[in-house]
Amino acid sequence: MKLCIIGTGYVGLVSGVCFSDLGNKVYCVDKDKNKIDLLNKGIVPIYEPGLEEILKRNYKQKRLIFTSDLKKAVNNSDIIFICVGTPTKKNSNSADLKYVFKVVNELEKIIFKYKIIVTKSTVPLATSDKIEKILSKLKKKKLVDVVSNPEFLREGEAIRDFFTPDRVIIGTDSKKANAKMKSLYMPIIKKNSRYFNTSRKGAELIKYASNAFLATKITYINELANLCEKAGVDIKEVSQGIGLDQRIGERFLRAGPAYGGSCFPKDTRALIDTGNKFKTDLTIIKSVILSNYKRKFTLTKRLKEILHGKLKNKTITFLGVTFKPNTDDMREASSIPMIKYLNKNNSNIRYYDPSGEKNEFKKLKNVKYFKDAPSACFKSDLIVIHTEWNNFKLLNFKKIVKKSKFKIFDMRNIYSPTKMKKLKIDYFGIGR
């Protein structure tokens, strides 16, 4: 099949590259010419394990084309995927759909032959109806079908998630569009994934409902971790114990910092906004947002307590600053408010992240990036394990810190408190 992917960010690039690997010809379009130039040189602008190899393979086979020429890409394709960003609008909870509608308005002018327009971007309930309204002239001439196909891939595991998704959700009541989407996804559905054809609005809501549910699980276990800390119970035992119940499941029950990233924070807010539009009070999700907001302060306060309230001139090293491992994405990472607070309180911050230096901290005096964990940890007063990259799982802290007294605040509970005690290291975890 011939596909056009509009927006080559985390979702568009992974989808485009993986669809081409299934044998489709894929035009990946982005308005960012710099990104397109990099991609044409075989340079992947994001950190996503395994992506570069598949990209190069398909680029060589000429199944993958990177371009800024939307018209040519659309004219040569049967299915058009909209994969542009849908961030939160300023001073509001609602999703900003300006990038989506800009694309749709451009499409309106350049479509002359039947195309399926797919919203892969996360868009609120009834957005596809609005898209269809913009394209009403084309719809009347039966030149378009608008389909909702929300994306569920996780950054850092995106390739695996693309090829073996739990489910593929297709929201459309057009038999023609559904048949085409099914044949596109058939190669991966054969591998035990469920293909679920549903209503378009249903598909749009499923995406938000999924993200809000996962955010709820994280927030729930984080709150229980607060209780465990006071009650002298290990949250890891509790997570394991409740996770063994198949109705609950063990995933997303690991206590840690506030959830962040490009999806959960904005999608929970957008769902509240949708609730308001339909005069429905989504109390649980409101509480989740509030609890997650408080989490950043709770952990910063704990960090301060670990240092007995003395932050001035303390050398504090962050191992990992991204919102999760195996990605370079810093959107809404909880390390940002924490580091800014510590910086304001005159601590010397060092950090190492395997995905490289971060623009978010470049302008902050006394926040320094180091190229590896040992040099970042050297002579530190406190090591904060913020993101659970594999590189941080087997560190010999005594050897790398080279200081008689230092502390570790393990926000991901990677290390065993018993082993740390044996090593005579002042160790603090989460919910233990």
Ligand X SMILES: NC(=O)c1ccc[n+]([C@@H]2O[C@H](COP(=O)([O-])OP(=O)(O)OC[C@H]3O[C@@H](n4cnc5c(N)ncnc54)[C@H](O)[C@@H]3O)[C@@H](O)[C@H]2O)c1
Active site (catalytic) residues: 263
In this structure, how many other beta carbons lie within 10 angstroms of the beta carbon of residue 90?
6
Least distance to ligand X, CB of residue 91, Å: 19
Q: 88 to 117, contacts with ligand X by CB under 6 A?
A: 99, 102-103
66 touching ligand X, by CB under 6 A: no
- Binding segment toward ligand X, per CB under 6 A, in 7-15, 302-310, 379-387, 409-417: 7-15
7 touching ligand X, by CB under 6 A: yes
Q: Based on CB atoms, which residue is closest to ligand X, 41 or 279?
A: 41
Pattern 341-380, binding to ligand X, x per CB under 6 A? ----------------------------------------
How big is the site for ligand X, counted in residues (CB under 6 A)? 26
Q: Based on CB atoms, which residue is closest to ligand X, 90 or 230?
A: 90
Is residue 326 a contact partner of residue 155, using CB atoms and an 8 Å limit?
yes
Counts of helices then strands in the chain (DSSP H, E) = 18, 14
32 touching ligand X, by CB under 6 A: yes
Query: What one-character DSSP code corresponds to residue 327?
Result: -
Task: List the one residue from 3, 4, 5, 8 that touches ligand X (CB under 6 A).
Answer: 8
30 touching ligand X, by CB under 6 A: yes
* Count of residues in the chain: 432
Q: Based on CB atoms, which residue is closest to ligand X, 7 or 354?
A: 7
In this structure, how many other beta carbons lie within 10 angstroms of the beta carbon of residue 286?
15
31 touching ligand X, by CB under 6 A: yes
Mutual angle of helices 264-277 and 200-231, in 10-degree steps:
120
Q: Based on CB atoms, which residue is closest to ligand X, 236 or 266?
A: 266
Q: Rounded to an integer, what distance in angstroms lies between the CA atom of residue 354 and that of residue 169?
A: 34
Q: 170 to 229, contacts with ligand X by CB under 6 A?
A: none
431 touching ligand X, by CB under 6 A: no
The beta strand positions in 108-266, using DSSP E, are 115-119, 144-148, 167-171, 194-198
The phi and psi torsions of 116 (rounded to 5 degrees) equal -100, 125
Measuring CA to CA, how many Å separate 54 from each of 30, 47, 57, 185?
19, 14, 5, 18
Least distance to ligand X, CB of residue 337, Å: 21
Residue whose pair of structure tokens reads 């955010």 in the numeric block: 215
Task: List the one residue from 84, 212, 255, 336 that touches ligand X (CB under 6 A).
Answer: 84
Least distance to ligand X, CB of residue 128, Å: 13
Task: List the one residue from 4, 17, 29, 270 that touches ligand X (CB under 6 A).
Answer: 29
Which residues fall within 8 angstroms of residue 21, CB to CB, at 6 or more apart? 54, 57, 58
Is residue 124 a contact partner of residue 115, using CB atoms and an 8 Å limit?
no
Q: Based on CB atoms, which residue is closest to ligand X, 68 or 174?
A: 68
Rg of the chain on CA atoms, in Å: 23
Q: Rounded to an integer, what distance in angstroms lies between the CA atom of residue 302 and that of residue 230?
A: 12
Task: List the one residue from 226, 262, 335, 347 that touches ligand X (CB under 6 A).
Answer: 262
86 touching ligand X, by CB under 6 A: yes
Least distance to ligand X, CB of residue 52, Å: 16
Determine which helix (DSSP H) or strand (DSSP E) holds 428, and give its type and residue range.
strand 426-428
Six token digits for residue 428: 């603090």
127 touching ligand X, by CB under 6 A: no
Six token digits for residue 212: 């809000």
Measuring CA to CA, how many Å separate 149 from each of 96, 121, 208?
19, 8, 13
The helix/strand/coil state of 251 is coil
Q: Based on CB atoms, which residue is closest to ligand X, 211 or 343?
A: 211
Task: List the one residue from 21, 145, 151, 388 that touches ligand X (CB under 6 A).
Answer: 151
Task: List the one residue from 4, 5, 12, 296 that touches ligand X (CB under 6 A).
Answer: 12
Least distance to ligand X, CB of residue 100, Å: 8
Least distance to ligand X, CB of residue 262, Å: 4
DSSP readout, 208-246? HHHHHHHHHHHHHHHHHHHHHHHHT--HHHHHHHHHTST
Q: Based on CB atoms, which residue is closest to ligand X, 54 or 377?
A: 54
156 touching ligand X, by CB under 6 A: no
Q: Based on CB atoms, which residue is closest to ligand X, 32 or 78?
A: 32
48 touching ligand X, by CB under 6 A: no
Least distance to ligand X, CB of residue 63, Å: 20
Would you tell me which residues interact with ligand X (CB under 6 A)? 6-12, 29-32, 35, 83-86, 99, 102-103, 121-122, 151, 153, 155, 262-263
